[in-house]
């Protein structure tokens, strides 16, 4: 027995997280699919298990270069560096995402809104509205482990679709 991710066999839709199953059945271990980028244990803990990295510990918290932030799991473009700002919260913060890049889901705690990559469902962090930190009045608070930076002028990697 091992902890794996249950996949619906025809559509490969994600059904449950970390169910204990018999190896060799219609499940796949790790990051749901062999086609997505390989994740290390810390990345999987945040992206798949929806954990949060400690504040002020991520590589992109105090990072301001021109380029694009993409999903670490599937390479989908998520944020322009132009939308990044210093919220002083300890995580990378953005006040705008690329169109249709982010899915918003009510968090089980009933007070926050979780944000996920629309393409692959990777947990990114949480959205906060009404803090008046920028003109757009939005803070996408993102784990550095959920994203990767591609400098301006470098070609973006191909988005991995399942």
For the question of residue 28 being annotated catalytic, the response is: no
Q: Hey, what are 87's tokens? A: 């919220």
The one catalytic residue among 4, 74, 117, 141? 141
Which residues are catalytic, by number? Answer: 141
């Amino acid at each position: 027995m091992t902890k794996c991710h249950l996949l619906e066999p025809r559509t490969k839709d994600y059904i449950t997280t970390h169910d204990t199953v018999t190896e060799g059945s219609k499940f796949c271990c790790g990051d749901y699919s062999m086609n997505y980028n390989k994740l290390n244990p810390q990345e999987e803990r945040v992206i798949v298990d929806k954990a949060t990295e400690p504040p002020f510990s991520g590589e992109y918290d105090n990072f301001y270069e021109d380029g694009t932030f993409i999903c670490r799991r599937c390479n989908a473009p998520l944020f322009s560096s132009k939308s990044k700002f210093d919220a002083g919260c300890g995580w990378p913060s953005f006040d705008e995402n690329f169109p249709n890049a982010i899915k918003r889901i009510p968090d089980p705690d009933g007070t926050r809104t979780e944000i996920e990559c629309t393409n692959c469902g990777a947990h990114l962090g949480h959205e906060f509205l009404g803090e008046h930190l920028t003109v757009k009045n939005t803070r996408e608070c993102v784990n550095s482990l959920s994203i990767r930076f591609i400098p301006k002028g470098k070609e973006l990697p191909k988005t991995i679709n399942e």
